Amino acid sequence: MNQEHIFIVRCGEVALKGMNKPYFERMLAERIRKLLKRKFERFDVKRHEGLIFVRADQQYDKDAIIKEISKVFGVASISPAVETESNLDAIGEAAVAYMEELIEEKGIKTFKVNAKRADKSFPVKSPEIGRIIGAKILIGCKVLKVDVHDPDCLLFVDVRHDKSYIYQDKIAGFGGLPLGTNGKGMSLLSGGIDSPVATWMMAKRGMLIEAVHFHSYPYTSQRAQEKVEDLAKIVATYCGRFKMHVINLLPIQEQIVEHCPEEETTILVRRFMMRIAEQVARETGCGMLITGENLGQVASQTAEALVVTDASVQMPVMRPLIAMDKVDIMDKAREIGTYETSIQPYEDCCTVFLPKHPATKPKLERILASESKLNAEQLIADAVASRETIDIKPE
């Protein structure tokens, strides 16, 4: 590619992985390749000296490429850059041309050069490189002045062994760890605000995702399920395609309502959901469950209720939102693009047969006594066997 965009991609926590750093960098580069491949044909991704360099044909929109790269977990920042030879004359010439474009596009008047000599064999040290390139810019761009405190443009010069790079912006990514570096989890995904955010947050920590969704058809509509599929597709833009197992919870809910105390309905339903999700998780190679529960938010999420819920499964339960304020969860949902879909007013299985006065401090022995009135194992087996599995692909 003769005409190309160049992007410097920096790793986040990957840089702290010691002897495992090359493995994490390879995984990160591969995730970037996979994501870009969905929308672009002519590009190249290579690791070099602790950085990842992405090159793409100049016909593609630069901002669109940055937007896609920024979705990759493990990316700390991205810089659109200009590449030049590693000698001061070439760097100076490229820096002047770069600043001339900024003068024309943004009308900048002041600048500062921040130089870094990654190649320690380069004969000029970093501070001197900055002074030399700054002087060349002043000569080549008469309208500019140096401002070391609050410049219109902070120009970075990264001098490396084979090539050097000039850039201005460091566009933040989400950080985290590359997908596939931290196991696999089964998310209990609903149509609310919380569970898509919880799923996203665990994926950000490098965890591959599958999901299980419960509905209560015909009390819940087909459109309610489609809403959850829409949410799953948004999440998949970050964590890649995954499977969502859809299960009708209504037969279990009807049995609970018929045979158990009304105030225990919510916690009993929750325990069945967890046990079903655990069985599907074991069948699909997941090592833990993921929920959007938040301490004290609703009756089934009091400290006592969560203890009783956890007692229904042996698999560890990850609750990344457990101590977050609702406002912060909503802000994160807006940031990742799930909020507007989550607030669409379609019914959820958790609102079916909702008791007037749910138990907020359930006792495990009482819950177990109520469950003993049900053929729990058969109900769970039937639910798992009847599941529909949907292949969720990114939007």
| Virtual torsion, Cα 181, 185, 191, 195, nearest 10 deg | -70
Sequence spans of domains, the chain: 4-172, 184-392
Residue pair 183/143 in contact (Cβ under 8 Å)? The answer is no
Average pLDDT on 96-108 reads 95
CA 395/CA 386 separation, integer angstroms: 27
CA 228/CA 292 separation, integer angstroms: 14
Instruction: Assess whether pLDDT exceeds 60 at residue 82.
Output: yes
In this prediction, residue 352 carries a pLDDT of 64
Strand, coil or helix: 286:
coil
Four-residue CA torsion sign, 12, 335, 54, 36: positive
Instruction: Assess whether pLDDT exceeds 60 at residue 21.
Output: yes
Average pLDDT on 128-132 reads 97
Beta strands at 288-290 and 110-117: parallel, antiparallel or unpaired: unpaired
2 — pLDDT class (breaks 50, 70, 90): very low
346 — pLDDT class (breaks 50, 70, 90): confident
Average pLDDT on 6-13 reads 90
Residue pair 69/7 in contact (Cβ under 8 Å)? The answer is yes
Mean pLDDT of the chain: 92
CA 383/CA 376 separation, integer angstroms: 11
CA 77/CA 52 separation, integer angstroms: 11
Furthest C-alpha separation in the chain: 87
Binding residues: 188-189, 213-214, 270, 292, 301
Q: Worst-scoring range by mean pLDDT, 9-13, 189-193, 229-233? A: 9-13
Average pLDDT on 85-100 reads 96
In this prediction, residue 3 carries a pLDDT of 73
Average pLDDT on 117-123 reads 91
Binding residues for ATP: 188-189, 213-214, 270, 292, 301
Percent above pLDDT 70 for the chain: 96
In this prediction, residue 18 carries a pLDDT of 64
Average pLDDT on 150-156 reads 96
In this prediction, residue 373 carries a pLDDT of 95
Nearest-10 crossing angle of helices 88-106, 126-140: 50
Instruction: Assess whether pLDDT exceeds 90 at residue 388.
Output: yes
| CATH of segment(s) 184-392 | 3.40.50.620
pLDDT in tens, 296-344: 888 788 999 999 999 999 999 999 999 999 999 999 999 999 999 999 9
In this prediction, residue 389 carries a pLDDT of 97
In this prediction, residue 204 carries a pLDDT of 96
Instruction: Assess whether pLDDT exceeds 50 at residue 1.
Output: no
What kind of architecture, by CATH, is found in domain 4-172? 2-Layer Sandwich (3.30)
Of 356 and 369, the structure prediction assigns the larger pLDDT to 369
CA 241/CA 225 separation, integer angstroms: 18
In this prediction, residue 302 carries a pLDDT of 92
Average pLDDT on 338-354 reads 79
pLDDT in tens, 254-285: 999 999 999 999 999 999 999 999 999 999 99
Instruction: Measure Cα distances from 172 to 6, 76, 110, 178 in Å.
Output: 16, 6, 24, 16
In this prediction, residue 10 carries a pLDDT of 92
Residue pair 16/30 in contact (Cβ under 8 Å)? The answer is no
Average pLDDT on 121-142 reads 96
